[in-house]
Structure 1
């Protein structure tokens, strides 16, 4: 059935295309956070292992939310690893060792990249495409990523 929600098809398609990139980024970050949870080593293992678990659980909800937002505006969400790797702004590679500082620095950089992507789309979603719902959704998601980044940043030593 045709989606009739007060946003023209071109606007919904443009928003959906950006949400697909966001979904790919979120899935890559989720996977990298799972990797950190599974493979962390060091004297702070237990504390950081539990911390990464809380982060990947939040990201699992985010991934689902982005895909559902795409469906709400009438488009299908990409759902294969191949699609995610083609769409993402992030890299799936982890450059540092299996220690907390290395993982946290890399995950923080990815959160900050997503934060910048979100900031860059909030106003166009609302003004250019007249999709206030998606704009509001990105604002809420921005706050989630800012908090997660803050928590990561608080673990870093200089």
Structure 2
């Protein structure tokens, strides 16, 4: 890691890499949860929610790749096993639970809002560690989660 000369000290780069590793785990768990809901949603709005969840997990899948590539561009390998993701994620799974469609949506709202708060703090950490590139990347990711949370909340409105 010492051969990388991009204007960020090794210490600061490692701080950013560590937060990106946690974020990668969070996004992977959210991806898995959203895909689970896509497979297991039932009810009168099945077709709409099935497609809605699919569009969300496809977007998250793309974000996962970008986060992993950001870690690589900063000079580190990515943790990439399911065990590592579950261990490092702040987003939690609910094994063996098959909630109602409304509960699925409210669970996803909570997860996206949690990630938005994490990302706000992570942007500040990146700026404090002289990594404007990652701060910008995370700001864009935060905006995606804000839009998704809004869309999910809109589905819950009566």
How far apart are residue 4 of structure 1 and its match? 1.4
Report the TM-score when normalising by structure 1: 0.94
What is the aligned length?
Answer: 157
Change in Cα spacing, 1:96 to 1:153, as seen in structure 2 (3 Å) is farther
Range with greater deviation from structure 2 (1-10 or 143-152): 1-10
Structure 2: runs of 5+ lacking an equivalent: none
**SS of residue matched to 2:156:** coil
- In 1, Cα distance between equivalents of 2:11 and 2:147: 33
Q: Answer whether contact 1:96 1:103 (CA < 8 A) is retained.
A: no
Cα deviation per residue 1:45-72 (whole Å; 9 max; x = unaligned)? 0010000010001000011111111111
Deviation at 1:115, TM superposition (A): 0.4
Partner secondary structure for residue 5 of structure 1: coil
Once superposed, what is the RMSD of the aligned Cα atoms?
1.5
What secondary structure is seen at the aligned counterpart in 2 of 1:155? helix
User: How big is the shift at 1:134?
Assistant: 0.4
TM-score (norm: length of structure 2): 0.94
Contact 1:115 1:145 in 2 (8 A): yes
Q: Is the 8 A contact 1:104 1:156 kept in 2?
A: yes
Structure 1 unmatched runs, 5+: none
Tell me the residue number matched to 2:146.
146
Deviation beyond 2 Å, 4+ runs, structure 1: 94-99
Deviation at 1:157, TM superposition (A): 3.4
